[in-house]
Amino acid sequence: MQIKNPKIAIFDLDNTLSESRSRIDAEMAELICALLDKMSVAVISGASFSYFDKQLLSQLSCMEKFDRLFILPTSGAELWAHKENRWNMIYKDSMPDDLKKKATDAVASVAGIKAEDRKKYIDDRGTQITYAGLGADASMEEKKKYDPDQLKRRKFISEIKDLLPEFSLRIGGTSSIDITVKGVDKSFGIKRLFSFVGINSQDAVFIGDALYEGGNDESVKNIEGVRIIETSGPEHTKNIIRELVKI
Ligand SMILES: [Mg+2]
């Protein structure tokens, strides 16, 4: 691996650090804590902060290093940093209510979701609307079988995109589609992180699983200078972190 002294490692969460919507395992937690001795770490995902808390932060036993850890929920529309023993929101780009309604109505109509089922399938995360193809309560097993080749979600995006020209639509997790205001994507969040932390893109490495066309990590490829490593999943990511810890 050709990575020269990065100052920050930025990770996607679902299918990169953990199985989609699951907690990171103990080995991953240990590796992240070891990496924090070497460099800053940021994690960016379509998930909301409460998911980060459950899936990632609650599993880490190195709180003394959290001042070097940065969290970017909802595809980078929010940035959280840890200071004086607590997590602080640095910024939040809320989606205006009229746009939320537009996105929600379009998803409900194209997916054929009844008014009483909207909450189950469409999640308002403040800065992002997320459509979960199987609903919020589906098991991991069901989600894995739902759309492994992403064809269902690509078809859905092609059907809805003309209705939502002012939005970005991306495939995330195993069964969901993240909808943000155009321009709000991981590259947007990461650039803001760089200016907040005072780091050049050349000093950053990004690790994610969805760098393919339409994937929710794809936009990171547009940030000049960032070195990008594609991972096939958490076990692969562990090996990448082991290499980074050696640096
Ligand atoms: Mg992912």
Kindly state whether residue 233 falls inside one of the protein's structural domains. yes
Tens-digit pLDDT profile for residues 202-240: 999 999 999 998 888 999 999 999 999 999 999 999 999
**Residue 5's pLDDT is what?**
84
Tens-digit pLDDT profile for residues 17-61: 998 778 999 999 999 999 999 999 999 998 899 999 999 999 999
- Distance between the two ends of the chain, CA-based, in angstroms? 10
Q: What pTM value is reported for the model?
A: 0.87
Q: Which amino acid is present at 141?
A: E
Number of domains in the chain: 2
Residue 3 has pLDDT above 80, yes or no: no
Mean pLDDT on 142-146: 91
Q: Cα(242)–Cα(236) distance, rounded to whole angstroms? A: 10
**Residue 247's pLDDT is what?**
74
Distance (Å) from CA 14 to ligand 1 centroid: 4
**Residue 241's pLDDT is what?**
98
Kindly state whether residue 2 falls inside one of the protein's structural domains. no
The count of other CB atoms within 10 Å of the CB of residue 203 is 18
Tens-digit pLDDT profile for residues 44-55: 998 899 999 999
Residue 2 has pLDDT above 60, yes or no: no
Q: Cα(11)–Cα(15) distance, rounded to whole angstroms? A: 10
Q: Cα(94)–Cα(125) distance, rounded to whole angstroms? A: 9
Q: Cα(219)–Cα(188) distance, rounded to whole angstroms? A: 8
As residues whose CB is below 5 A from the ion ligand 1, the structure lists 12, 14-15, 209-210
By three-state DSSP, how is residue 218 classified? helix
Same domain for 82 and 123? no
Domain that residue 124 falls in: 97-181
**Residue 199's pLDDT is what?**
94
Closest of 202, 207, 205, 227 to residue 217, by C-alpha: 207
Domain boundary among 161, 181, 201: 181
Record the tokens describing residue 142, joined without a space.
């069901």
Distance (Å) from CA 16 to ligand 1 centroid: 6
